[in-house]
Structure 1
Amino acid sequence: MDVIDRPVLAGASERAGAPAFEGFVRTGQTLELKAFTGVTGDAGGYALPREIDAAIDRALASISPIRRIANVVKVGSAGYRKLVTTGGTPSGWAAETDARPGTATPVFQEVVPPSGELYANPSASQAMLDDAAFDVEAWLADEIATEFARAEGAAFVTGSGVNRPKGFLTNPVSAAADATRAFGTLQYLASGAAGDFAANPQERLIDLVQALRAPYRQGASFVMNAATVARLRKFKTSDGAFIWQPGLAAGQPATLLGYPVVEAEDMPDVAANSLSIAFGNFRLGYLIAERSDTAILRDPYSNKPFVGFYATKRIGGCVVNAEAIKVMKFAAS
C-alpha cells in the first residue's frame, strides 16, 4: 500500500523516529508553540472579520420647515403662472325698483414663481457598491434627499430668485398698511430698538399679530430661528406669566400668544435692521411649485469604474399674497 506523505501538524517539527505531535500525545513532551491571536495583525488578526454597523450615523442638518406650512403645488412645466385678484369685487345696495348700475371688475395680478434646477452628482466605485458592509446606493439616495431639503428650505427664506426660488425675506418691505402698500411688498413692524426689543416686547408681538387681518390669522404661525426662540421664551407678562406655552403632547408645536411657533434655522439672528420674526398664514402667502419628485439617474457607463448618481429636482417659489405675511424689523422705526 502506498503511503501518502502529508505535511506535519502546524507548529510541530518532525523528530527522529516519530512525529513530534505523536510524542506529545504519548509522553507529554512540550512542543515549540507560536502564538496565533487577533491582537496583532500579522499573528492572525488580519483573518478576523471586522464588524461594521450597517446604519451610518450622521450629523443631522437643519432643514427649514417652510415646505410644511406653505402651499405646495405640482406643475407640469416650468412656465407656471398664478393669478391673484386685488381689491375684490365691489358691490352696492339698491331698492327693489332701483336701477342696477355696473360695478367695477376685480384687478388681476400675475405671479410667476422663479424656479431653478437643484442637482447633485456624487459617484462611487463599483467595487465599493459590491463590497461595502451597508447599502451604499440607499445611503447616497438618503444623503441627496437630505441635502435637497436643506438647500430648498434656505431658498424659500432667503433665495435670490435667480435660478432658484425667491425667498419671502427678499421681497421689498414697507411700514405702510395693506390698503396702501404696493403689490408684493411685505409690511413690517419695528421692534422699537436697533437690534433688540424696546420696553414691553410682548406688546410689540401683539401688534405684529394684530397687523395680520382676521381672515389670515386662522392658520397663521410664527417663524423664527432657535436663537430668537430662546429670547422669546424668557418673556413674561406683568403678572409673571410666560407668554410662551410649550406643546402639551409629543409632536404638538409650542405656541406664542396662542399661535404655533415654527423653528426655521435659515431665519436671521436678531441684529440691527434684521427681519428675524415672521408671522403669517404661509399657506395663503407663499407658493412652492415643483415639477416632480426628485429624479435619480444611475450612470455606470460614463466614468468607469465609477457609478454616478445624477439627481435633479426642478422647483420654484415666491410670495403670492403679501398681505398674508408680516415681519418684525429690529429697528427703532
Structure 2
Amino acid sequence: MAVDQKDVAQVAEELGKRFDEFKSTNDKRLEAVEQEKSALSEKTEAMNAKLSELDQLKADLEASLKEANRPDKPGGKKEVTEHKAAFESFIRKGREDGLRELEQKALNTTTDADGGYAVPEELDRNILELLKDESPMRQVCSQITVSTPDYKKLVNLGGAGSGWVGEAAARPATDTPTLAQIAAIMGEIYANPQATQTSLDDVFFDAEAWLNAEVAREFAEQEGAAFLNGDGTNKPKGILSYAFDTAGDASRAFGTLQKIHSGTAGDFVPDDLIKLVYNLKKGYRAGATWMLPMLTLFKVRTMKDDQGNYLWRPGIEAGEPSSLLGYAVTENEDMPAVAADANAVLFGDFRRAYTIVDRIGTRVLRDPFTNKPNVGFYTTKRVGGMLTDSQAVKALTLSI
C-alpha cells in the first residue's frame, strides 16, 4: 500500500482532533470528579457537625435525666435557712441587716469586713455543680473543697525495698519510700454580672438562679483555660504548662509529662492515636479519656484502622458515650489546634493526673452605683490546681 505525505497529514490531523476531544472529555471528567469530591466533602462536613450536635444533645438529655432522678437534699439548719433568706434580701434590695452574723453562724468561718458577703453554702455548692457542667476540665479531673488558703499533698515516688525470705530468716531493713510534697497553685477568679434593679424587684425573677448561672458561666470560661494552659501566675498552673519529655515513665522525672511525637510536623495518622493508648500503663487505661478540640475531633472521625474500621464510634445505647478506640472523648476548645509542634491530643486518666482545689466561700460585693441603673455583683472565689500524677496522662505532639 502506497503512502504519501497527504495520508500522513490526514492521520496527524485526525490524531490532533482526537487528542483535542480526549482533552476536552478528560477535563470534563476531572471537573466532574472535583465537583463530586467537593459535594461529598461538604456533605461529610455537614454530617460531621450533625454528629457533634446529636452527641452533645444525647449527653445533655442524659444529664437532665440524672438530675431529675436525684433525690432532694434534706433541709439544713435554721441558721443556714436564715442566712439564705437574708442573702437573697441583700441581692434584691441591698439590705445587710444581721447578714454578717448569720454568715458567721452558718459557715463558722472568719470574714473580711470589706470583702463583701459569702454566699450561703448551698448556693456555693450549686455554683460548683454548674461549673462542673460548664467546664470540660471539671468534668474529668478530681476536685476537692478546702477551707484554708492553700492545699498540700504528699505523693509516694516509690523506692521502698522488698524481698523474699525464709520462715526463720532475718528480715533486713529495706529502703525508705521517697515522698514528695506538692502544693496547689491558687488564684482568685472574679466575675461582675449586671442586673437592673427593676428585674431584681420582680418577684418572678429568680435572683439566686440568675446569679448562679451568670457566675458559673464566667468562672467556667476563665477556669477552663487556666486548668489547661494557665502559667501559674495569679492563676492555677495548667496541665499543658508543665514540662514535657519523650522519656518513658521509668526514667522521666516526677512532675514531667510524656509526649509522643507523631513523626509528622503538624499532622498525625491513626497509628499515632493507637501508639498513644499503649504508651499509657494498663492501670490508667480503665479511667482514661481523650481530650481534643472540635476541629481535631472532626479530623479523627474520618480516620480508619488497617481493617477499614472507623476509629470513632457513636454511643448508641443510653448512658454509653461516643468513643474513640473504645475510650470516651472530652471536647475542650482550649486545647491547641492541629499545627506543627502542638500538643494536640491528650489521653489519660485525668482524675489521677490533675486535682482542682476550690476554697469554699464564694463572696459577693453588691455595687448599685458604678453602672447605673444596673446593679453589679462583684463575685470572687479562690481556686487552684495541681498535677498529682505525671504518669497518668500522655500528649500527642505533632512533630518529627
- Normalising by the smaller structure, the TM-score range is 0.7 to 0.9
SS at match of 2:396: strand
**Change beyond 3 A, Cα 1:271–1:316:** same
Which runs of no fewer than 5 residues in structure 1 stay unpaired?
A: 1-61
- Residues in 2 aligned to 1:296 and 1:67: alpha-carbon distance in whole angstroms: 23
Cα offset, 1:305, TM superposition: 6.1
- In the alignment, which residue of structure 2 is the partner of 1:143? 214
Q: What's the counterpart of residue 220 of structure 1?
A: 288
Task: State yes or no: 1:204 paired with 2:275.
Answer: no
More helix by share: 2
Whole-Å separation in 2 of the counterparts to 1:116 and 1:170: 16
Matches within 5 A, 1:127-166: 127=198, 129-130=200-201, 138-166=209-237
3-state SS of paired residue (1:231)? helix
Residue 184 of structure 1 corresponds to 255
Local SS of the residue matching 1:161: coil
1:78 matched to 2:149: yes
1:36 aligns with none
TM-superposed deviation, 1:296: 3.2
Letter of the aligned partner of 2:288 in structure 1? A
User: With structure 2 as the length reference, what TM-score do the two structures score?
Assistant: 0.62
CA distance change for structure 1 residues 305 and 64 in 2, over 3 Å: closer, same or farther?
Answer: closer
Aligned AA (2:142): N
Q: Which amino acid aligns with 2:296?
A: T
Counterpart pick for 1:263 among 326, 331, 347: 331
2-structure distance, mates of 1:80, 1:241: 46
**Alignment partner for residue 233 of structure 1, among 295, 301, 305?**
301
* C-alpha contact 1:129 1:137 (8 A) present in aligned 2: no
2:159 and 2:179 map into 1 onto residues whose CA distance is 10
Aligned to 1:121: 192
CA RMSD of aligned residues (A): 2.3
Which residue identity lines up with residue 285 of structure 2 in the other structure? Answer: R
C-alpha separation between the residues in 1 aligned to 2:208 and 2:373? 15
The C-alpha deviation readout for 1:249-303, integer Å capped at 9, x for no partner, is 3553211111111111110101000001001111111011100264434345788
When residues 296 and 99 of structure 1 are mapped into structure 2, their CA distance, relative to the original with a 3 A threshold, is: same
Q: Relative to structure 2, which stretch is displaced further, 138-147 or 255-264?
A: 138-147
Q: 1:190 to 1:169 in 2, by over 3 A?
A: same
Report the CA distance shift for 1:227/1:64 in structure 2 as closer, same or farther (over 3 A): farther
CA distance in 2, matches of 1:132, 1:275: 50
What's the offset of the Cα at 1:330?
Answer: 0.3
2:264 paired residue number: 193
In the alignment, is residue 245 of structure 1 matched against residue 313 of structure 2?
A: yes
Distance 1:88 1:255, change over 3 A: farther
Distance in 2 between residues matched to 1:115 and 1:286, nearest whole Å: 14
- Given that 2:265 and 2:341 are in contact with CA atoms closer than 8 Å, whether structure 1 keeps it comes out as yes
Which of the pair has the greater relative contact order for Cα pairs under 8 Å at 6+ separation?
A: 1
2:353 alignment partner in structure 1: 285
In the superposition, relative to structure 1, how do residues 261 and 127 fare at CA in structure 2: closer, same or farther (>3 Å)? Answer: closer
Q: Percent identity?
A: 48
Separation of aligned partners in 1, 2:372 and 2:135: 37
Structure whose alpha-carbon radius of gyration is higher: 1
Counterpart contact for 2:338–2:398, Cα < 8 Å: yes
Gaps of 5+ in 2: 1-132
Q: 2:242 aligns with which of 137, 158, 171?
A: 171
Task: Report how many aligned residue pairs link the two structures.
Answer: 268
C-alpha distance in structure 1 between counterparts of 2:261 and 2:171, whole Å: 46
Cα distance in 2 for residues equivalent to 1:228 and 1:192:
17
CA distance, structure 1, for counterparts of residue 228 and residue 370 of structure 2: 37
